[in-house]
Amino acid sequence: MLEISTGVWLLTIGVIVGLLALDLAVAAAKPHAVGFREATAWSVFYIAVAIVFGLVFMSQAGTDFGVEYFAGYLVEKSLSVDNLFVFVIIMTTFAVPAEHQHKVLTFGIIMALILRAIFIVVGATLLNLFTFMFLLFGLLLIWTAIQLFRHRDEDPDVQENGLVKLTRRVLPVTTDYVGGRLTVRHQGRRMVTPLFIVLIAIGSSDLLFALDSIPAVFGVTEQAYIVFTANAFALLGLRALFFLVKGLLDRLVYLSTGLSVVLAFIGVKLVLHWGHTVWDWVPQIETVFSLGVIVVVLAVTTIASLVKTRRDPSAKAHPGALRVTKTPPQEGAEEEPRPPR
pLDDT tens for 42-96 read: 888 988 999 999 999 999 988 889 999 998 898 888 777 777 777 777 777 777 7
Going from the C-alpha of 252 to that of each of 75, 104, 179, 295, 298, the distances in angstroms are 17, 23, 33, 16, 11
Q: What is the mean pLDDT of residues 262-278?
A: 84
Per-residue pLDDT band at 335 (split at 50, 70, 90): very low
pLDDT at position 11:
93
Q: Which regions of 94-216 does DSSP assign to beta strands (E)?
A: 183-186, 189-192
Q: CA–CA separation, 218 vs 138, rounded Å?
A: 10
Reported as a single tens digit per residue, the pLDDT across 194-253 is 888 888 888 777 777 777 677 777 888 888 899 889 888 888 877 777 777 766 666 777
Neighbours of 40 (CB within 10 A): 13
Residue 330 pLDDT > 70: no
Find the range with the poorest average confidence among 122-131, 140-149, 224-233.
122-131
- C-alpha to C-alpha distances, 213 to 22, 83, 115, 231, 337, nearest whole angstrom: 25, 11, 11, 9, 32
pLDDT at 163 over 50: yes
| Among candidate residues 240, 249, 294, the one with its CA nearest the CA of residue 47 | 240
Please give the pLDDT value at position 331.
40
Least confident of 11-20, 180-189, 257-266: 180-189
